[in-house]
Amino acid sequence: MARARCALRQLALAGLGMVASVQAQTQPPAPSAGETWFFVDLQGELHYATEQVDERYHRFSISPLPPGDGPLFVDVRAAASALAEATHTDPEAAARYFAESSGYQRHAGQLRAAADQHGVDEQLLKAIATAESGFNAQAVSPKGAIGLMQVIPDTAMRFGVEGDRKRSLEQKLKDPAINVPLGARYLRHLQTLFPGRTDLVVAAYNAGEGAVQRYGNRIPPYQETQNYVKTVMTLYQSLQPRWGGDSVSTLCNMPAQQVCSVARSARLRSSLPARRGRTVR
């Protein structure tokens, strides 16, 4: 229960959109498992990664937070993984998170409408959004994925969304009214490619359908993708109605022990000193 409460608290912070001021390190230490790297662009926007993508990225300083210390940044993927792990001992952990998350509540109507419009499972859409952005509509990944559903601009253009004189494509993808339906449309497209295989749909959302197809319609052997599938599928399973004896393998046709072996290498809290009052969105 304590682990579940901790995961819920961390994801609640993510849902509130809490972000951190950052302090650059001129000589970052050697990388270790579960770390997070970042840089802040000229518009004050946070970009994050699980490795040092280039020289602009600096490693978060991981340390315990004294009472009242702030601000915080929550590693979204790590927090989602911790929540998924918590559901093994506390089956209601995910449901409580969604009930308490202001980030989710802010976009719940859009997620529900997009799921209904495009014929996808609302619970799967929620699980993916949790792992992709923690319901942060302004999130930008180092690979260029944008917004609440972390849509790649090339994918957006494939589905007819482009920039115009009023707004660039990036600005449009930060609009949940555009981003969420687009993510649902892409999810539906993946379901037509991999019918009855939710695990492959989730893997393709992360790594691209081409990667899944290149590996013979199997989850690609990328550690990030495999961890992502485990996290999303575990969250998805925890949100399903409780049928006696049914397991996640019923949902996704993959071994239950594989789905439920959620990655445990993530740190959840970062103490980041303020830098002249500048914060990231």
Active site residues: 132
Under DSSP, the state recorded for 143 is T
CA distances to 43, 59, 104, 181, 202 from 49, rounded to whole Å, are 18, 9, 23, 25, 20
Contact 191, 212 (CB under 8 A): no
Q: How far apart are CA 204 and CA 193, in angstroms?
A: 10
Q: 58-59 and 37-40 as β-strands: parallel, antiparallel, unpaired?
A: antiparallel
Q: How far apart are CA 78 and CA 266, in angstroms?
A: 5
Q: What angle do CA 86, 248, 229 make, to 5 degrees?
A: 70
Rg of the chain over all Cα atoms, to the nearest angstrom: 18
3-state DSSP: the chain helix, strand, coil percent, rounded to 5? 45, 5, 45
- Across the strands, what pairs with 38? 48, 58
Long-range contacts (CB closer than 8 Å, 24 or more residues apart) made by 206-215: none
